[in-house]
A and B are shown apart, each in its own frame.
Chain A
Amino acid sequence: MAEDHHAHDHGSELSEMQLRVRALETILTEKGYVDPAALDQIVENVETRIGPHIGARIVARAWADPEFKRRLLEDASDAVNALASFDPVAAHLIAVENTPQTHNVVVCTLCSCYPWSVLGLPPVWYKSFPYRSRTVIDPKGVLADFGLTLPAETQIRIWDSTAETRFLVVPMRPDGTDGWSEEQLAELVTRDSMVGTGLPKSPEAAKGEARR
């Protein structure tokens, strides 16, 4: 089956798409509808300005600062914009907190809605048909595909992003991180842990990576 994940292996689609996309860009530029410099800037934005490093800093702040966490869970857009450290986030960001009782998982079954402003562009798996179809009916099976098994007593809460609200999961702070700075904590926060398909790195795992 030709699925997103394998599309870049398909040489025929690649050359066909290169030609067709270049043609459309040429037409739209020649007709004065788009500015190539603005297009370059858009690409630069998504490649360098936005990304999971933003979400990681927000989560780390929430772990380190209970008052910020309270405000984040109450109104994530306001709380993040008040930091003034990033481009303003999308208008309606909602932060949902993992606890020992509840694990949150975010999906968009209908298309690919994802909190770009704090996580960047979604990975291919998030937009893939297996993730979009199965997460709502078999979330434990999907989490197993990521190598994640939760305690049997943990409730799973799925958020289907069917409107212009966007969801950021605030994972649980790993044990053994007392007294860590926000910068250190942010190193533990993975993209998948902010979508709900992973957990933050443990301090040991992070240390091992640093040694390699």
Chain B
Amino acid sequence: MSNITKKNLTEIVKLIKKKEIKSEELTQSFVDNIEKDKKLNAFITKCSETALTKAKNFDKKPILDTLLPGIPIAVKDLFCTKNVKTTAGSKMLENFIPNYESTITNNLWNEGAILLGKLNCDEYAMGSSNETSYFGNVINPVAENTVPGGSSGGSASALAADLTPTTIGTDTGGSIRQPASFTGTVGLKPTYGLCSRWGIVAFASSLDQAGPMTKTVEDCALMLEAMAGFDKKDSTSINKKKENYSEKLTDNIKGLKIGIPKEYRVDGMPKEIDELWENGKKLLKEAGAKIIDISLPHTKYALPTYYIVAPAEASSNLARYDGVKYGYRSLKGNNLIEMYENTRSEGFGDEVKRRILIGTYVLSSGYYDAYYLKAQKVRQLIKRDFDNSFKSVDAILTPSTPSSAFKIGEKKNDPISMYLNDIFTVPVNLAGIPAISIPAGKDNKNFPLGLQFIGKPLDEQKLLNIAFAVEKRINFNQDLKRWWES
């Protein structure tokens, strides 16, 4: 079948279910695309052989009443996969082979999916451009020398370049939505606790959340359905009934109230982003939604709060990498302490070290109240802003990012300007609420731009419906020349 890899996930699932294509042929098509790619560096580990074997086995006795029957899927290399190397983009875990499977990937395999490979990401998911990976930069298929965003940069790049029909990422401060926006794809960060964190390499545990990255909103609903669910192994997992997001998906959003927060109109925002936002409002009105101006007064404090909370949690989580039980160990050092210090110095990259030091500092004796406690209090204020707004609106519309994808190296030496990239995505993680980014237009360089919809806790269905209604009216067309194949 020609161009099967260009189709979206929902179409591919239908073809498999109607037996118009076999899993092996489908998997082979994606493997071919992966082999032809010479420039994107989206994969850390390719599982082509085992994927093809699994696909053949699937075809011998196809089970078709699942959500993802025989569908090959590459995943961010932050999800532990049993007997398949899991690096988190770090030298520290370069040779780490988990003997367990993360709950989320396990859910995908239980729905019939097949592991196609492990995708590059910023080291320990700390970055907004995929430039912190030990395994090299990932390139955005939109243009050469351009970042795909981060931290789920390999996921976004592979998806946009048709190297996988769908993928999963993790989002601590925008790591799904920002790369989705940069690559013209759909990315959803679910409500904190909806998708299990068990078996995901931890960054900041009160913020981390796994979510789907897809070509369409309908695909996104399908993937969320496969991923979400209660997990007793994650103490923060929410115990609620499974939902059929894809079945219930509708573009009827008549009468819904959508808030426009004035604080998201930041200084120096490109005119194109402003126009994109205006267009979003217009399309929502056409779909019968009501636009309401709202205020989220503490928005500007979200990033400073995030850069205390996230590094603090990271410094605790990453204390486990000591060169003893697993991971890299330095051969230098005359005693145990020196071994620890050299292991962590050689095994972690610069951004990870920077964040561990920030985190250690804000938690250290004498500074805890001034920084960490203060940040937790401001986090409360940020959450209250959203709680108050959701008394009068069903969802909130904002741009996904303050710019389109930037050039490799452009922001690398200026941490603050890199961090500012997440200005529109971070507040959502602090409040624990769901948000989705959909491709909504292009700038003058023909680079994609995204719009973000933010919803109430556990209101993913409404969020997907709104995104679906707007997506239908946008007709975004990526149509990339496959320049990475030569």
The answer to whether A and B come from one shared complex is: no
